Structure 1
Amino acid sequence: MESPRAGRFTATALMLGNLVTGCSVLAPAGMLPELSAGLGVSIHAAGLLITFGAITLCIGSPLTAWLTSRIERRVLLTTTLAVLALGNLASAFAPDYVSLLVIRLVMLAVGALYTPQAAGTAALIVPAERRGSTIAYIFLGWSLAAAIGLPLITFIASRYGWRAAYGEIGALGCISFLLLLVRLPAGLKGTPVDLTTWSAVGRSRTILLLLAITMLQMSGQFVVFTFMGPLLKKLTDAGPDAIGMVFGTYGVCGFLGVVIATRIVDTWGPYRTSLLFTCLLLVGITGWALGAGTLMLMAGTVAIWGLGFASTNSMQQVRLVAAAPQLASATVALNTSVLYIGQAVGSAIGGLLFARELLYPLGFVAAGFVVLALILVVLSRPKRAAAPA
């Protein structure tokens, strides 16, 4: 039942919090050359900010879901955003690489809370028939992080330095914190997460299959995405503006993909919607691999890839909530955790290939992960007699 205390723009406030979270997580990908030059480290070492951050996130998401499940949601989510805002502001003043890495790990250890708890909060403020579209809408913040955040980060870092980019994210975090504090109703509490909850999750074949899909989808994408800017520079001699344009194309198409998914999921069902956008993901990444070396071809295939990247993530959240609503706090946290495992695996593999100048094989390795994900999506098709998962 919809909470009578939920304000008109509560879902939007939650979505903007995901925008801040997405920018905080993805920021290094938009300014690897500037971080490398400013901190005196290699591109590969700068990329480890994403890899180590993802490892922290994947551990922190289920752990913090367990430790904080009894905390009132407005207190929990606004505190998380405050830490993200302060962490980014502190990053702007980091004196060296090690300091920046430590600040990032501390910030993301707390920031791991936001995305799963925001999705779980959506289930508390909207009726069941609107749950799928609302969760997809809240996840739109990640699309905006790629559509608007990354191009702006690339633009600001290339002209004013990486410190200015971190400062802008910190300022956005402060604004989002205040908005959520005003719009999110007090008194919202989810089902406490305990050992029984994790045991029930582990016994569900459907949930484990969906979690594997998330990990493979993200691993494939982050093999390339982490180093997209340097790859475009090395393969096509693209400058900062062209790289920002590609990031913008990726994000705008990601935004469109989530909008389309949000519109069709309640009628198509989460499974068919997920299948559609996973296919688009595969077409886009395969196109990148085949078109590597030609800027226009790579940008065009990034547009197709973009349609699938955020919508597949949001559909995974929707399918997990629908598969076991009573376990939503745990399953959404675990989904976010394996999403970050995928980021860590993909960025680590991409970093090894990039460091060895194996630039063209990167795309084919990425496509291989997504092929495996697509196979599992087909295997996860719900039985006809059962309600769509």
Structure 2
Amino acid sequence: MEPPRAPRFAPTALMLGNIVTGCSVLAPAGMLPELASGLDVSIHAAGLLITFGAITLCIGSPLTAWLTSRIERRTLLATTLAVLAVGNLASAFVPDYASLLAIRLVMLAIGALYTPQAAGTAALIVPVERRGSTIAYIFLGWSLAAAVGLPLITFIASRYGWRAAYGGIGALGCISFLLLLLRLPVDLKGTPVDIKTWAAVGRSKTILLLLAITMLQMSGQFVVFTYMGPLLNKLTGAGPDAIGMVFALYGVCGFLGVAVATRIVDTSGPYRTSLLFTSLLLAGITGWALGAGTLMLMAGAVAVWGLGFASTNSMQQVRLVAAAPSLASATVALNTSVLYIGQAVGSAIGGLLFARELLHTLGFVAVGFVVTALILVVLTRPRPAAAALA
């Protein structure tokens, strides 16, 4: 059955939703000092907003994929964005840390379904030959959340307070909600997810290896990323503007990385593209570890790291869809879930090391995770007969 013709800007509407989702997930990383001082908690405690949020996301992603797989996609995605918008707006008015954490957990428990369902929806509205590039394009939203969202969050929070930053994300969520209602086709439904689907996923060695790669890539990055701002301040004396510029460099390079990946994936294949950008990811995090203490070296490493951070994840999504198209709804949801497991593991380890002032150690622990991920990427090299499904 041919997919319905997507209205103009439908993929862009899905991509904007990923910007809102990315900003909602990553926001605390861009304003840890402001959150800590404003809520009278330690930076480590403020960082737990990311850790606990990631735990909620990793549980919520497969669970909501199962519970909502029979719901029409436009209704599902628009409702999810409405919850994210209201949650961020409510966060701007909380009286204390406990209230902010509670709102965040509820908001992300629902928001967990957006990214995998957006990728699955893309597969429904474009021809098969454009599926890989369209999914990669939708994941530009996460790159833009880092390229534009995080620096803006840092800028706004340092000048107008963290409440204003949450208000801005909420306003963007309202805009995204309206665009999804206007641009997505009606009556879009994917393949229902049931127990047999999960069992089929569990029997596939390739899928399990791909999911392990995602977890390791994200664990390594979030050991450092969660505390990137405070690390830059403690190791180099960088202030809010310099930290914001490093976040911007990270995000802009992430945007460029996904743009290049989107252009080459349909010709080079997802495996080669994944290998290239995982190698860049490793090079960047290694540069951070070796250059810790020198702002210019750390910023340069962040630029290389940025080229790989979002493109590696988008390639994971493409590889999972190609490996088992009939299981895409489940595998994309699981990939998002293990992505958030990686965030939880990495940020928890990073928080423990940061609290103990082991600031240089964070970088080398991150390198260990990404080296392991690269080894698994090599192990998933497709056989010649399966190269077309790489």
Q: Which TM-score tier does this pair reach, normalised by the shorter chain? A: over 0.9
Amino acid at match of 1:388: L
2:47 is matched with which residue? 47
Matches within 5 A, 1:23-102: 23-102=23-102
Structure 2 counterpart of 1:344, one-letter code: A
Superposed CA deviations along residues 10-36 of structure 1, whole A, max 9, x for unmatched, are: 000000000000000000000000000
Cα distance between partner residues in 2 of 1:173 and 1:361: 37
Q: Distance in 2 between matches of 1:286 and 1:244?
A: 21
Partner in structure 1 of residue 239 of structure 2: 239
Q: Retained in 1: the 8 A contact 2:60–2:112?
A: yes
* Residues 356-367 of structure 1: pairs in structure 2 closer than 5 A: 356-367=356-367
- Superposition deviation, residue 5 in structure 1: 4.3
Aligned to 1:360, the other structure's residue is in SS state helix
Say if 2:300 is the partner of 1:300.
yes
How far is 1:290 from its partner?
Answer: 0.3
Quickly say closer, same or farther: Cα 1:372–1:186, change in 2 above 3 A.
Answer: same
Maintained 8 Å contact 1:74/1:184 = yes
- Residue 276 of structure 1 aligns with which residue? 276
- 8 Å contact kept, 2:4–2:124: no
The TM-score with structure 2 as length reference comes to 0.99
Moved more, 335-344 or 379-388: 379-388
Q: How does 1:148-297 map to 2 (within 5 A)?
A: 148-297=148-297
| Whole-angstrom CA distance in 2 between matches of 1:280 and 1:3 | 35
Aligned partners of 2:5 and 2:126 also within 8 Å: no
1: distance between equivalents of 2:360 and 2:124? 46
Give the alignment of 1:106-125 within 5 angstroms. Answer: 106-125=106-125
Residues 271 and 388 in structure 1, CA contact (< 8 A), matched pair in contact too:
no
Q: Which range moves more in the overlay, 331-340 or 121-130?
A: 121-130
Residue in 2 that maps onto 1:345:
345
Tell me by how many angstroms 1:6 deviates: 1.5
Distance 1:382 1:212 in 2: 17
Give yes or no for contact 1:18–1:142 (8 Å, CA) kept in 2.
Answer: yes
Corresponding residue for residue 389 of structure 2: 388
Aligned to 1:135: 135
Deviations 1:70-94 (A, max 9, x none): 0000000000000000000000001
Listed as ranges, the gaps of 5+ residues in structure 2 are none
Work out whether 1:147 is the aligned partner of 2:147. Answer: yes
Structure-2 separation of matches of 1:330 and 1:18: 19
The residue that corresponds to 1:334 in the other structure is: 334
Aligned-pair identity (%): 88
* Helix, strand or coil at the partner of 1:192: coil
**Aligned-residue offset at 1:385:** 1.1
Amino acid corresponding to residue 177 of structure 2 in structure 1: F
Q: Specify the alignment match of 2:354 in structure 1.
A: 354
Q: Which TM-score applies when normalising by structure 1?
A: 0.99
Q: Which residue of 1 aligns with 2:14?
A: 14
Root-mean-square deviation over aligned CA pairs = 0.6
Q: AA paired with 2:45?
A: A
Question: Matches of 1:261 and 1:370 in 2, distance apart?
Answer: 19
Task: Tell whether the 8 Å contact from 2:282 to 2:371 is kept in structure 1 after alignment.
Answer: yes
Q: How many pairs does the alignment contain?
A: 389
Aligned to 2:389, the other structure's residue is in SS state coil
Verify the 8 A CA contact 1:223 1:362 in the aligned structure 2: yes
Looking at structure 2, the residues matched to 4 and 362 of structure 1 have their Cα atoms a distance apart, in angstroms, of 48
Partner deviation per Cα, 1:257-287 (whole Å, 9 max, x = no partner): 0000000000000000000000000000000
| Native 8 Å contact 2:4 2:126 kept in 1 | no
